[in-house]
């Protein structure tokens, strides 16, 4: 009996040990799962709250889980890690103070409000705290924003920064000259004056330009956020901070034709357009510009610059804007490049494609060509890619994935050989002259 008792006393802790092991294993699995669930629950609550405020807000609030630099709430002045920022005026705020900040602070005023009469200037619009790193005070020329608290001011239009103690009343209410990019910015008072003139049915905006910069070339930015990688979204925010937000258009929400109508609010031949996207996007915008001619808006036609965000950027490369942009240079430098660029003329060709088969029953197809027109495997590959992207745009969020999809369609065509013997089937004519009876396709 003694032996049996001893044995049982030796073996009795084992079930307990097993239970404890199972318990801790369960804990180590469940705790991260619960934390993740709790975080996603909090995030969805936060987004719900944000959505509600977003709908009514004049700010362009963006939700963030982690600010990229030390940030202080503009209401309670506390150091914050997560919250929201407005990508037009740059206000930063935590979740709790969002509603208050939304009510208390004005965003960048796109068009100046007022009763009547023409305006030719505006005052600075200062916001306090979170000034960019490496910015210098306009009064004492010392570095700003160095103290770990909500301090110093930045004007949302001219980007000038000033210390709390250097801000004199004269500076506070002084005229804002719109800073380095004044020749690209459409000032809110200009739009106010144009709307006044439109009410009086006058459309000579040339006189209004006198109130702006001497060589004023207002810039309109058209960005395709689906092009290339996900840079488009971030760039749009950065451009909105530096220019008037009305100048920036997202092509997934507004068509180029609609966006280009802003040119008709500007003096003749003054506007420039920066297209952020690939060759396809540039072609789309150039087609919309052609339509302006048909509408009789020839004198408002803008000059076009390119920021190559797409997978195929040959046109951009040919014109000297680079083969692809992945954030190598800051947006300020992009705007400087646009300011310094010279205009050149670009040949645009009309290509007609006739199908000889089927007793010429098929309709003549007309395309516009910018710098190349391709048939055969690479055209098929680009078409397949385009169709696939139109169907599921969320898949094509990075340039590497896009290139992989291109590779997939390229390989597929090598095996399937849909374009086999195409060179024997195609004839190419230019200005009624047969160039190549058996064209080497692509």
Residues in contact with Zn ion by CB under 5 A are 59, 73, 75-76, 86, 88-89, 94, 97, 107, 124, 137, 139-140, 155, 157-158, 163, 166, 176
CB neighbour list of residue 147: distance below 8 Å, 6 or more residues apart: none
C-beta of 94: minimal distance to Zn ion in Å?
4
Q: Is 211 exposed, middle or buried (0-12, 13-18, 19+ CB in 10 A)?
A: middle
Rounded to an integer, what distance in angstroms lies between the CA atom of residue 227 and that of residue 276? 8
Q: Helices 399-416 and 377-391 meet at what angle, rounded to 10?
A: 130
Within its chain, how far is the Cα of 201 from the centroid?
34
C-beta of 86: minimal distance to Zn ion in Å?
3
Q: In what order do the strands lie in the sheet with 61-64?
A: 61-64, 83-86, 92-93
C-beta of 140: minimal distance to Zn ion in Å?
3
Structure tokens at 383: 């078409």
Judge contact between 441 and 376, C-beta under 8 A. Answer: yes
Closer residue to Zn ion in complex, CB, 130/402: 130
C-beta of 297: minimal distance to Zn ion in Å?
32
Closer residue to Zn ion in complex, CB, 176/289: 176
C-beta of 333: minimal distance to Zn ion in Å?
21
C-beta of 23: minimal distance to Zn ion in Å?
41
Judge contact between 165 and 138, C-beta under 8 A. Answer: no
Q: Which residue has the tokens 């516009």?
A: 368
């Amino acid at each position: 009996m003694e032996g049996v008792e001893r044995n049982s006393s030796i073996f009795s802790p084992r079930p307990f040990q097993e239970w404890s092991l199972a318990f801790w294993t369960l804990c180590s699995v469940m705790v991260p799962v619960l934390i993740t669930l709790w975080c996603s629950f909090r995030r969805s609550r936060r987004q719900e709250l944000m959505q509600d405020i977003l709908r009514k807000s004049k700010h362009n609030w963006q939700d963030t889980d982690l600010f990229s630099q030390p940030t202080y709430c503009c209401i309670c002045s506390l150091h914050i890690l997560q919250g929201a920022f407005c990508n037009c005026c740059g206000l930063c705020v935590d979740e709790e103070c969002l509603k208050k900040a939304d009510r208390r602070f004005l965003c960048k005023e796109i068009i100046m409000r007022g009763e009547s009469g023409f305006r030719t200037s505006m005052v600075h619009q200062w916001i306090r705290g979170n000034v960019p790193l490496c910015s210098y005070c306009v009064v004492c020329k010392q570095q700003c924003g160095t103290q770990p608290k909500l301090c110093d001011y930045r004007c949302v239009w001219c980007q000038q920064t000033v210390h709390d103690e250097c801000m004199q009343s004269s500076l506070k209410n002084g005229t804002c000259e719109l800073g380095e990019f004044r020749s690209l910015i459409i000032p809110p008072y200009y739009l106010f004056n144009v709307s006044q003139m439109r009410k009086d049915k006058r459309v000579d905006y040339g006189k209004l330009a006198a109130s702006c910069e001497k060589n004023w070339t207002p810039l309109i930015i058209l960005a395709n956020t689906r092009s290339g990688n996900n840079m488009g979204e971030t760039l749009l925010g950065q451009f909105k901070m530096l220019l008037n937000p009305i100048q920036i258009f997202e092509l997934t929400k507004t068509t180029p034709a609609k966006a280009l109508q802003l040119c008709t609010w500007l003096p003749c031949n003054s506007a420039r357009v920066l297209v952020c996207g690939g060759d396809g996007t540039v072609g789309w915008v150039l087609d919309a510009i052609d339509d302006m001619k048909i509408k009789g808006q020839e004198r408002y036609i803008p000059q076009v610059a390119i920021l190559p965000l797409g997978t195929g950027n040959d046109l951009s490369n040919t014109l000297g804007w680079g083969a692809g942009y992945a954030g190598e240079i800051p947006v300020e430098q992009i705007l400087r490049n646009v300011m310094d660029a010279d205009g050149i003329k670009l040949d645009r060709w009309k290509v007609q494609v006739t199908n000889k088969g089927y007793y010429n029953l098929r309709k003549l197809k007309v395309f516009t060509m910018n710098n190349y027109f391709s048939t055969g495997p690479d055209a098929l590959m680009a078409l397949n890619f385009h169709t696939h992207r139109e169907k599921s745009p969320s898949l094509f969020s990075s340039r590497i994935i896009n290139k992989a999809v291109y590779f997939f369609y390229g390989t597929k065509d090598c095996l399937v050989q849909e374009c086999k013997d195409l060179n024997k089937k195609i004839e190419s004519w230019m200005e009624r002259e047969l160039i190549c009876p058996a064209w080497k396709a692509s």
